[in-house]
Structure 1
Amino acid sequence: MEKKITFNELRKVKDSLPDGAIRQMAKEFNVSEETVRNYFGGANYTNGKAVGIHMEPGPNGGIVLLDDTSMLDRAKELIAAEAV
């Protein structure tokens, strides 16, 4: 499922993740930790892969089109669980 989100919103989700969440998500999605970071706006393609995000210039850091929202959805679940 595609989703548009601002780059700043995407980074806010990443910055809100509890400790160890990047590692946990990497295991769950069977990808490297750098690939998870790349999903949230990172750019380390030496140790991580591209993950279906497309960026366009604009306000709030630009617009990001996510081809697949599963990592974003999982990140929000982890943040919500930490808040309980």
Structure 2
Amino acid sequence: MNITFNELRNIKHRLPTGSVGRIAKELNITEQTVRNYFGANKFNEGDLTGKHYQSGPNGGIVNLQDTTILDLALKILREHNATVVS
């Protein structure tokens, strides 16, 4: 899946507090791995996340080989938005 870097960062910034920890716990990975997925670069503290950057507008294009973290983040956003609207 391709997504711009700016879109990926925007998703991370919209997540409610505690979401990085929730994603890490549900997927049995480190919180730093989740942060790395969304653009951090502390690979000595977290795992690589199967993505490739190509420079360009909007921060460039990120090719995500595995969308599991993104899918869970989007699910959390949907849940959060549903509670905010209710």
TM-score higher than 0.5 here?
Answer: yes
SS of match in other structure, 2:58: coil
RMSD between superposed Cα atoms in Å: 0.6
Q: Name the counterpart of 1:37.
A: 35
Deviation at 1:76, TM superposition (A): 0.5
Please, which of 46, 49, 56 is the counterpart of residue 47 of structure 2?
Answer: 49
Matches within 5 A, 1:52-67: 52-67=50-65
Number of residues paired by the alignment? 82
Matches within 5 A, 1:1-84: 3-84=1-82
Query: Gaps spanning 5+ residues in structure 2: where?
Result: none
- TM-score, normalised relative to structure 2: 0.93
Q: In percent, how many aligned pairs have the same letter?
A: 48
Instruction: Give a deviation string over 1:12-53, Cα, whole Å, max 9, x none.
Output: 000011111000100111111000000111101111111101
Query: Gaps spanning 5+ residues in structure 1: where?
Result: none
- TM-score, normalised relative to structure 1: 0.95
Matched to 1:25, the amino acid is I
User: Relative to total residues, which structure has the larger helix share, 1 or 2?
Assistant: 2
